[in-house]
Amino acid sequence: MFAEKLKQLREAQNLSLDALADILNKKYDTKISKSMISRWENGSDIALSYARIIADYFKISPDEVLGFDTSNIVELHPTTSLTLPIYSHLFAGMPDGAEEDIIGNIDIPDRIANKYGRKNLLAVKVEGDSMNKVILDGMIAVVNTDDTEVKNGDVYAVIVNGYANTIKHVFKYPDHIRFEPDSFNPANKPFSYRNDEDISIKIIGKLVYIAQDLG
């Protein structure tokens, strides 16, 4: 049971409830309280966004935090059939980037590869905390480059003026486009551009899969 394991992990680092909450809040710009951790250790459900934070801090699987028992699953065939290069950043020529922009590789499950098409998937490492309710700093965003027609509120990888990379909720209107963060850090604010501004905006693709780089 994860409730017991969380307490064991915390105590193994000689951390009080207050100390762990303080570390998590500083590291992930969130607002976790002592009472929240206490409830989790007593078996209360944990939100997905917090599960990702706990998993990242203690270097365990989010599935384990959420209580999914995978110990009895027998693999009858490989679960991954596609390996994608991980790019350090977005750029206008995606996905035909230079070799020096590749910082590693990541395996993508069959279901994702088959659903969106193997040639349409692109993996890029996320930097920063502007979307940490959705995807944490250092995780890998996999986007579908065949899906660039904005549906308001969905998350897209975007290039602004050829060099400013971002992953945000996107809202497109007749006279402007707006980008909204989804973060525990209140310093991250929405921003927008009017159509008549001298701004080049390229939608690279829609976020379809999130992975942790375990390399």
3-state SS string for the chain: CHHHHHHHHHHHCCCCHHHHHHHHHHHHCCCCCHHHHHHHHCCCCCCHHHHHHHHHHHCCCHHHHHCCCCCCCCCCCCCEEEEEEEECCCCCCCCCCCHHHEEEEEEEEHHHHHHHCHHHEEEEECCCCCCCCCCCCCCEEEEECCCCCCCCCCEEEEEECCCEEEEEEEEECCCEEEEECCCCCCCCCCEEEECCCCCCEEEEEEEEEEECCCC
Catalytic residues: 130, 168
- Tell me if the bond preceding 95 is cis, omega within 30° of 0: yes
Which tokens sit at 36?
């929240």
The rounded distance, in Å, linking the Cα atoms of 41 and 34 is 11
Close Cβ partners of 108 (under 8 Å, ≥ 6 residues apart):
80, 81, 82, 83, 84, 121, 123, 142, 209, 211
pTM for the full predicted model: 0.64
38-52, 135-149, 155-169: which is most confident: 135-149
Q: What's the whole-number mean pLDDT along residues 102-113? A: 87
The CA distance from 29 to 8, in Å, is 24
Is residue 152 pLDDT above 90, yes or no?
yes
101 — pLDDT class (breaks 50, 70, 90): confident
The confidence band for 176, taking pLDDT boundaries of 50, 70 and 90, is very high
Q: Rounded mean pLDDT of 109-127?
A: 89
For the cut 90, the answer to whether the pLDDT of residue 142 exceeds it is: yes
Note the pLDDT of residue 52: 82
Nearest alpha-carbon partner for 68 in 55, 81, 59, 53: 55
Confidence of residue 205 (pLDDT cuts 50, 70, 90): very high
Task: Tell me if 121 sits within 8 A of 82, measured CB to CB.
Answer: yes
pLDDT at 80 over 90: no
